[in-house]
Structures are given as C-alpha cells and as structure tokens.
C-alpha cells in the first residue's frame, strides 16, 4: 500500500509529490509519487508527519476527567484523585485497563504514537501495570511504562510500597517485557 498525502515531512523538510509505502504496518519507503498503483490511498489536503510523544501522563486518570475542574491541584488530589482512584479495579467498568485503553486511543487519534505513563496504582504487585501494558499493545501505541512508587505515608495504601519491593517488581516487569 502507498499513502499519497499532499505534504510529507522528511528529514529535509516538507515535500510534495511523495508516496509513502507501507508494508507490515511500517513505513517501508519514501519515493516520488510516479505512476498510480491500485493500492494507492490518496490523502488530498493532508500532511503526513511523524507521530508525537506524550512524555508524561497517568492513563488511569482519564477516568477522572471533568471531576473537580474547579479545584486547585491539592484540592483535586485530596477530593478527587485519592478517593476515586481507590475505587478503580484492574479490568472492570471502572478499570485501569479501560482507562488506559481510552487514553491510548485518544492519544493515537490526536497523533501521539508513544506514551510515557507514570503509573503508580500497584496494589502490592504488577497486575495493574500488566493491564496498562496489555491495553497499549491492543490499542497499538508504543508505551514507556514509568513505574512510579510512593513511600509517603500520606498517599493511599494502594500506591505505597517499599523501595525494595518497587525495585523487585520493576525488575520482574523488565524481565517479562524485554
């Protein structure tokens, strides 16, 4: 398949008259448009450029959107984030997987093809992190799981873990997903 946008952003800048060949879901080649081919997908009035990176997010928080918009950060944290994040489960209707899948799909829709998710709802294990990783794979976004830990007594219990436990669980995730 070849994509035929009006403009393509290349290392040399914007170019017209370029065909972007796609094979196995990846860019295989960039060349002059040349003769039409049966599998061409015309994209008039469109520009094709590399995806962007969402360099800091908390995907589960997509389920909290619109709650406490009138609060400052500390008020939102204490009155929305902490109480509502305690109600989230791994895969249910108020699930971490669902929140991540929703956030990832929204990112892809708007051109972000990579996400760094600072994730900290651990529940003394990696099941929730695995749900985020699975959601990224199913939606088709690149994920950097920035497994974050809290050792502050003021944070909800499900966030907290010791440094030793966090290090061990991070090593487990790294070994499993290399």
- pLDDT one-digit tens code per residue, 46-65: 999 889 999 999 999 999 99
Cα 14 from Cα 66, distance rounded (Å): 38
What is this structure's pTM? Answer: 0.84
* SS3 readout for 17-60: CEEEEEECCEEEEEEECCCCCCCEEEEEEEEECCCEEEEEECHH
Calpha distance 53→173 (Å, rounded): 22
Distance CA 169, CA 125 (A): 7
Residue 97 pLDDT exceeds 80: yes
Encoding tokens for residue 132? 């985020």
Do the Cβ atoms of 79 and 41 come closer than 8 Å?
Answer: no
What would the pLDDT profile of 3-42 be if each residue is shown by its tens digit? Answer: 999 999 988 999 999 999 999 988 899 999 988 889 999 9
Parallel, antiparallel, or unpaired for β 142-147 and 112-119? Answer: parallel
């Amino acid at each position: 398949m070849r994509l035929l946008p009006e403009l393509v952003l290349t290392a040399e800048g914007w170019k017209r008259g370029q065909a972007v060949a796609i094979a196995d879901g990846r860019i295989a080649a960039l060349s002059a448009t040349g003769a039409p081919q049966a599998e061409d997908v015309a994209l008039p009035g469109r520009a094709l450029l590399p995806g962007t990176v969402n360099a800091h997010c908390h995907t589960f928080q997509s389920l909290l959107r619109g709650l406490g918009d009138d609060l400052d950060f500390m008020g939102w944290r204490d009155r929305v984030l902490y109480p509502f994040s305690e109600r989230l489960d791994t895969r249910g209707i108020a699930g971490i997987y669902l929140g991540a899948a929703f956030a990832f799909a929204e990112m892809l829709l708007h051109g972000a093809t990579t996400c760094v998710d600072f994730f900290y709802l651990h529940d003394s294990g990696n099941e929730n992190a695995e749900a985020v990783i699975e959601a990224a794979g199913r939606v088709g976004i690149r994920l950097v799981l920035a497994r974050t830990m809290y050792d502050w007594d003021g944070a909800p219990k499900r966030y907290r873990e010791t440094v030793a436990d966090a290090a061990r669980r991070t090593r487990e995730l790294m070994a499993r997903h290399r």
